[in-house]
Amino acid sequence: MKIAIIDYGYANIRSVINAFNCFECDISILESPKALADSDKIVMPGVGSFDAGMRGLRERNFIDTMSERVFEFDVPFLGICVGMQMMSEGSEEGDLPGLGWFQGTFRHFPSTDSSLKVPHIGWSEVTAQPDSQLFSGIDLVSDFYFAHSYYLPIDEKKDEICAGKCTYGVPFTAAVEQDHVFGVQFHPEKSQLAGMKIIENFLSI
Amino acid sequence: MTTKYRLIASVLCHRGQVVQTRRFKPQNVIGNAITAVDFFNSWAVDEIILLDISPNDQYFDSFVETADELSKRCFVPLTVGGNVRSLDAARRLTRVGADKVVVNTGAFLRPELIAEIADAFGKQAVVVSVDAAPNPDLPSGYEVVIDRARHRTKEDLLSWVNKATAHGAGELLLNSVEHDGDRRGYDIPLMNLVTSHVSIPVIAFGGVNEWQDLVSGIRDGGVQAVAAGNIFHYTEQSTKKAKEFLEQAQLRVRRSQFYEISLPRHPKYRPY
C-alpha cells in the first residue's frame, strides 16, 4: 500500500512518518502533487500556522490534484491537527480560506478563564461516535494527545461528520469523518497505542 | 473538564550518556538514552523530555543523532533541547522528530529566538525552560539563572517570564537551581508564583524525591505537568507507580490502554 504524506514545507512530519513506518506500507513524502496519482492513501500532517500551511499547499500546487484524488477517485484522506484545520472553511488564526471540505471555522480557545491554559497541550478524553470507522475497536472514551490553540466548535449542522468530541473549557470537535475523509485534531502518532490503533484503522479502510 | 495532568520523564544526556544531576552538575551515569526511552515509552509516561546538558554544543551533532534514534521508538510527545541557540538548531531537532523544542540560555540572550521557532513550528512547539534562584532583592523574590546555573542574570523571574510569553512561548519548564536533584520536592512557592501569573501551561521540574512531591506540584504549585528524572531511573515500573499514586490522590491522569496491534516493522516496540 502506498501512503502519500503531504509535505507543504512547514509541518514537522517526522513523527507521522515514524508512526506509519511501524506498519506494512510504502511511504512517500510528497513535495509536489505529481506522485499523488499513484497513492492509495493521503495523509496531511500539520504543525505550525494555518496560513503558512495553506500558502504551502498553494505554492506546491497540491490543492486541485488532492481534491480530485479524494473526491473523484475516493482516495482515503487523513488530516492531522492543523492538517484537519485546513480541511475546513477557515480559521481565526489566518486570513486565507481553508480547503472547504467541511463546514465550519476554527476559533481561538477563550482566554477569559485564567485557569484554562492556552495552548491546549496534553492528553484529553475523546468520546467517539460508536459507528466511527476511525475509532473502531477503541474504547468509546479514550485519551489522546492534543497540542493546539484553535478548535472547531460543535454544532448540530456538523453533527453528522463529527466522529469524536472533546472538552477543553468548551466542547469541541476532536475528529471529523465522512465516508473516506478523516480529520483529527489530536496527534495519533503521539497518542501511544490508542493513536496507533487510529492509524491501523485508517490503513485498513 | 480540562486536560489530564501529565507525568513527564526527563532524560539528561551529558557527553552522549544519560546521567543524573544534582544542582545542575552531572552525577551518576545511568546508561544510554535509547534504553532509557524504551523503558519510559513502555510504561505510563505521558511525555519524554530529552535534554543535552553537555557544557557546550560540541556534542550537539551526536545528540541530534540520539534524538533521531529515540524519536523512531517514541510514541508519546518528545520534547528536546539543550544548547539550542538558533532557529537552525531547533530545525535540526524537529527534523529528526522533536515535537517540541526546549530553549533556555539561547532564548534569554536573544528572546527573538522564541518567536522564530514559534513562527516556524507553531507556539505549541516552543518550551521555554527557566531556571530560578531565590533573590530577595528582586520584586518576585527570584532571579533567572542561565548557562546551567553558572550565570546569575540579575533579571527578575516574572519580568523574564513576561518577555518569554510575549515572544510566543507555548509552555514553561520551571526548575529551581537549589532543588535540582536535591530530593526535597519541587520549589512550590516558585511554581505557584509562575502558574498564577501566566496563561500558558507550566511543567514543574527538579527535586522530586517521592510520589507525594508530584501531587504537591499539581495541587499546591498549580502546574499542568510534573517532570522528574532521577527518581524514575531507580524504581521498577516507576512511572506506572507514580501514575497510580496520582490517581489515588484524586488527580485526573491518563490510563494507558492496551490494544492488540500488529506493528510488523517495529519489533522493538514493547508498549507494556
ipTM for the predicted complex comes to: 0.90
Mean pLDDT (whole number) for B42-59: 86
Q: pLDDT category, B261, cuts 50, 70, 90? A: confident
Which has the higher per-residue pLDDT, B151 or B266? Answer: B151
- Is the omega angle on the peptide bond into residue B77 within 30 degrees of 0, that is, cis? no
In a domain? residue B176: yes
More confident residue, A4 or A46: A4
Q: What CATH number does the domain containing B205 carry?
A: 3.20.20.70
A-contacting residues of B 137-166, CB under 8 Å?
none
Tell me the H-state helices in B112-156.
112-121
Label residue A32 exposed, middle or buried (CB < 10 Å: 0-12, 13-18, 19+): exposed
A162 is known as an active-site residue: no
CA gap B9, B85 in Å, rounded: 24
Per-window interface: B 85-104 vs A, CB < 8 A: 94-100
Structural domain contains residue B189:
yes
Average pLDDT over residues B40-44: 63
Residue B138 lies in a domain: yes
Spatial distance between the Cα atoms of A188 and A45, rounded to a whole number of angstroms: 10
Sign of torsion, CA B115 B117 B121 B126?
A: negative
Q: Whole-angstrom Cα distance, residue A189 to residue B112?
A: 30
pLDDT, tens digit (0-9, with 9 covering 90-100), for B99-133: 999 999 999 999 999 999 998 888 899 999 999 99
Q: Is the pLDDT of residue B38 over 80?
A: no
Tell me if A102 sits within 8 A of A70, measured CB to CB: no
Positions of E strands within chain B: 6-14, 17-22, 25-31, 47-52, 78-81, 100-103, 126-134, 142-146, 151-156, 171-176, 202-205, 225-228
B71-105 confidence digits (pLDDT tens): 888 889 999 999 999 999 999 999 999 999 999 99
Distance CA B63, CA B86 (A): 16
Decide if B49 is inside a domain: yes
CB-CB under 8 Å, A21 with B265 = yes
pLDDT tens string B152-200: 999 999 999 999 999 999 999 999 988 877 788 999 999 999 999 999 9
Give yes or no for B75 touching A (CB within 8 A).
yes
Mean pLDDT, all residues of chain A: 93
Confidence band for B35, pLDDT divided at 50, 70 and 90: low
- Residue B272 inside a domain? The answer is no
Number of H helices, E strands in chain A: 5, 12
Domains for chain A: give ranges and CATH numbers: 2-91+105-203 (3.40.50.880)
Element (H, E) at A18: helix A14-20
Position B267 confidence tier, pLDDT thresholds 50, 70, 90: very low
At B232, which helix (H) or strand (E)?
helix B230-234
Three-class secondary structure of residue B89 per DSSP: helix
Give the pLDDT confidence of A142-198 residue by residue, as tens digits: 999 999 999 999 987 777 899 999 999 999 999 999 999 999 999 999 999 899 999
Out of A47, A191, A196, closest to residue B121 by CB: A47
Domain count, chain B: 1
CB contact under 8 A, A146 and B120: no
CA gap B169, B126 in Å, rounded: 6
* Choice between B239 and B46, residue whose per-residue pLDDT is larger: B46
Domain span holding position B60: 6-248
Considering only CB atoms, which chain A residues are within 8 Å of B239? none
Out of A78-82, B63-67, B212-216, pick the least confident. B63-67
Question: Any long-range contacts for B237-242 (C-beta under 8 Å, 24+ apart)?
Answer: B237/B43, B238/B43, B239/B7, B239/B9, B239/B40, B239/B43, B239/B44, B239/B45, B240/B43, B240/B44, B241/B211, B242/B7, B242/B44, B242/B211, B242/B214
pLDDT at B272 over 50: no
| pLDDT at residue A197, rounded to an integer | 95
Cell numbers describing residue A205: 479502510
Residue B271's pLDDT band (boundaries 50, 70, 90)? Answer: very low
Q: Is the pLDDT of residue B28 over 80?
A: no
Q: Which of A72, A120, A189, A200 is catalytic?
A: A189
Over residues B65-80, the pLDDT tens digits come to 989 988 888 889 999 9
Q: In this predicted structure, which of A62-71, A97-106, A178-187, B226-235 has the lowest mean pLDDT?
A: B226-235
- Decide if B160 is inside a domain: yes
Residue A60's pLDDT is 95
Distance between the two ends of chain A, CA-based, in angstroms?
A: 11
Residues A14-38 have a mean pLDDT of 93
Cα–Cα nearest to B112, from B74, B85, B132 = B85
A196 to B263: CB separation less than 8 angstroms, yes or no? yes
Residue B261 falls inside a structural domain:
no
- pLDDT given for residue B114 in this prediction: 98
Q: Is residue B61 part of a domain?
A: yes
